[in-house]
Chain A
Amino acid sequence: MGLSQDILTDQISVLDLGQVVTVKPGATLSRTIELMREHRVGCVVIVDDDNRPIGKFTERLLIRFLVKTCKNTSASNPSGDSETGDAEMPDPISSQALSSSGVLGGGQILDDPVEKHMYRHCTCLRTTDPIAKVIECMEAEKLRYVIVLDEDGHPVGITGFSGLMRYVADHFPRQVKVQEPATKLYLDEREGA
């Protein structure tokens, strides 16, 4: 059968789903970043009162945010970026919101609600969807994280590149799992006597 067939039949539920960390839209940016560091996750899902995803905040967005506050310029949407579309880019930070030094650390911006700076578009799949859909979303939209929902539309996990890699490794253990650690190709000195 092969992996090509298995990804069409295996459901997302068989993947190692990463922990999904959620916050409400009113949670501060500092709290969101703190949660990302505490749980060592690259994505936090913002949910509404019904626990349904309405946005996400990722490491990529964090870097843009830090650079943006440093430069004190409006947000720009680099070409080739598929984590956001034009309509979903966070609002540019007004000069009034910046600290006197113009860089992050003054505390004002960190108190902003995360909904002001989140990605408003978040691709979600169900646990019953085939794994092929994950690959399709990641490749087409250049995503790193895909939110996985249960039957009721509540987030139950995050998948993406890491889960996909482990899935491929499980299918090809003889090729992928049995590898020597990185070593020099050529020895500096002769071995033996």
Chain B
Amino acid sequence: MRRKRRGPEEGEFQDPLKNYALDYDDELERSLTEDRIGDLQIEPFTTIHPDTTIEQTMVKMVELDIGCVLVVDDQRLLGIFSERDVLLKVADRFAEMKDTPVRDVMTPEPSYVHRPDGPAKALNLMAVSGFRHVPILNVDDKVVGVLGPRRITAYLKNHFEN
């Protein structure tokens, strides 16, 4: 005989999430799970046009004391130029390369995250892929910020203090 399925009692609603209580060991775990990258400090950020020369780009990096610049055209991310690019591609030939457009030495099509993504996604790129700077795009794929070592360190320290 086929067993009759027993449904909920009349008037009784069984919330399927009732017994699913998220239990976090600490505030950082909660933040990685529930917060959005837009909640972190992602500005200011510096962008340059791809035709900017290497020298002009590096002067800007020194003036602003930053480790990278985002190479954009009409707010579209084309690449990233960082201190590591200077070391590996420019340092030994700076005299002959300083007037070269930065598009020739930048890291093209860098990995990025979107503003609605969780902080864990940015940390994934930094921890697993080894990137120090992660550009942030909005839903229209326009650059709206960047995350780097200082901001992530401040983010971690905030949660540890809390």
Interface size on A, residues (CB 8 A): 55
Residues on B with beta carbons closer than 8 Å to the beta carbon of A37: 87-88, 91-92
In the complex the two chains form, what is the Cα distance from A64 to B83 in whole Å? 10
Question: Which residues 96-130 of B have a CB within 8 angstroms of A?
Answer: 96, 98, 111-114, 116, 118, 120-121, 123-128, 130
Instruction: Give chain A nearest CB distance to B49 CB in angstroms.
Output: 19
Q: Does A161 lie within 8 Å of B87, measured CB to CB? A: no
Residues on B with beta carbons closer than 8 Å to the beta carbon of A138: 149, 153
Question: Which residues 58-114 of A have a CB within 8 angstroms of B?
Answer: 59-60, 62-64, 66-67, 70-71, 78-81, 101, 103-106
Residues on B with beta carbons closer than 8 Å to the beta carbon of A168: 28, 123, 127, 156
Q: Does A4 lie within 8 Å of B159, measured CB to CB? A: yes
Q: Does B62 lie within 8 Å of A67, measured CB to CB? A: yes
Could you count the A-B residue pairs with CB atoms below 8 Å apart for me: how many are there? 149
Residues on A with beta carbons closer than 8 Å to the beta carbon of B96: 105
Interface stretch (choices A46-54, A117-125, A172-180): A172-180
Residues on A with beta carbons closer than 8 Å to the beta carbon of B93: 105
Seen from chain A, the residues whose Cβ lies within 8 Å of a Cβ on chain B are 1-5, 7, 33-34, 36-37, 40, 42, 59-60, 62-64, 66-67, 70-71, 78-81, 101, 103-106, 132, 135-136, 138-139, 142, 144, 160-162, 164-166, 168-169, 172, 175-177, 179, 181-182, 184-186
Seen from chain B, the residues whose Cβ lies within 8 Å of a Cβ on chain A are 25-29, 32-33, 55, 58-59, 61-65, 67, 83-84, 86-88, 90-96, 98, 111-114, 116, 118, 120-121, 123-128, 130, 132, 139, 141, 149-150, 152-154, 156-157, 159-160
